[in-house]
Amino acid sequence: MVRRSIVVCLALALTGLALLVPLRHSQADEQAGPTADQLRSRASCESQVSNGKYAHDSGGSKTAAVCRSGDAVHWTADFDIDCDGQRTTQCNENTDPSYQPETSWQQSDGRPLNSAGLPFIVVPLPSSIWDYRTSGIDGATVAAVVYQDKVAYAVVGDQGPTGIVGEGSYKLAQQLGINPDPASGGVDGAVVTYILFPGVTSVPIENAADAVSKGEAAANAFVNSTQTCASTNLDFTSYPTIQSGSTGSAVEAAQCLLGGTNEPSGTFDTATADATKSFQTRVGLPSDGVIGASTWTALLAAGDQPTLRLNSTGAAVSRLQRSLTAALARTVAIDGQFGPQTETAAKDYQTSRQLIVDGVVGPVTWTSLQGGK
């Protein structure tokens, strides 16, 4: 009897140790991404992509801008509970006075998303303030959401009113330690930071584990990136072909546009060639590692897609002028002023690419430029 008891105890002890191994592994995985403070620190508003600001609630003050920092798009707002989608014990007509049995995006089986089971965020419907699609965002785009000392990874899963930001699913609120009750929960104030990673998507949309894995990788890349373009000259009267072995200011400009953790060196090294090939593959160009007219055009046009026309001004106009200079192989003055010369250049570009020729640079023209066409 004693021996049998010893054997049983040993077996239980070994079973306990076996259970502890995956538990420790899981805890390490949860800490694989950056901290809340690291993400908040990196998410400064390097450039505003919204044409104005959003309110947190209907009728409230418009204080929340949509910004871009590096490759990420972000805003800081409150957190309202979205309980729409599949009917569950937590989310239904009785628990949520505003409940709707649908979401803007659906699961791979065609059913609405499950707010009680899937962490997702809500983006405002496209409007004159901002159209999320022009920033490379769509359903299933992965996001990191930061509240106090917590970071949770989510996907874009629903759309909300055109003038409001700051909303996420029941499950996301739970993960952030926010009261998830759809009638009385949420949190007020500009205390939650929503950081979206354009081009990074969860497959399928309901695969929360995929969102965490991809989100941690994107978040690490985000906090480790630096804004290197502030002190780099991007304005040239022509953009020369550069490749391995090239040196000079044009190489510095390309390195800045390609991004990375190092300051531009001005030497087209192996790392620059690899970054060029990666960028070319991403935008659909031949990945030869050589920066010629098409790659310059795509690099210089990269970013959001605001509609520009005669008399528009600002950084987006300068970005357009640089890209047109590369695409047309002729100098377009880079002054941030959309005057007659820029309008003529835009029309010439549209004509040569068989686009509607109106001199207005909207999503179609931007998409063509950003594809290096």
Q: Collect all residues with Cβ–Cβ distance below 8 Å to 287 and sequence separation of at least 6.
A: 277, 278, 280, 281
In degrees, rounded to 5, the angle at the alpha carbon of residue 145 between the alpha carbons of residues 141 and 149 is: 155
CA distance 366 to 151: 34
What does the pLDDT read at residue 353?
Answer: 96
CA distance 224 to 353: 38
- For the domain covering 36-224, report its CATH number: 2.40.40.10
Q: Are strands 62-64 and 67-69 parallel, antiparallel or unpaired?
A: unpaired
What does the pLDDT read at residue 307?
Answer: 85
CA distance 40 to 192: 10
Mean pLDDT by 10 residues, the chain (373 residues): 35 38 35 86 82 92 89 93 98 96 98 98 95 88 96 98 97 98 96 91 96 91 67 88 95 86 83 91 92 96 83 83 96 90 97 96 93 94
What does the pLDDT read at residue 366?
Answer: 93
- For the domain covering 230-370, report its CATH number: 1.10.101.10
CA distance 372 to 299: 8
- Token pair belonging to 280: 């070319």
What does the pLDDT read at residue 337?
Answer: 86
pLDDT in tens, 75-117: 999 999 999 999 999 999 999 999 999 999 999 999 999 999 9
The closest alpha carbon to 275, from 242, 307, 305, belongs to 242
Q: What is the CA radius of gyration of the chain?
A: 24
For the entire predicted model, the pTM comes to 0.60
pLDDT in tens, 329-367: 999 998 888 999 999 999 999 999 999 999 999 999 999
What does the pLDDT read at residue 30?
Answer: 41
CA distance 143 to 169: 13
What does the pLDDT read at residue 71?
Answer: 73
Domain boundaries, the chain: 36-224, 230-370
The closest alpha carbon to 135, from 218, 198, 227, 214, belongs to 198
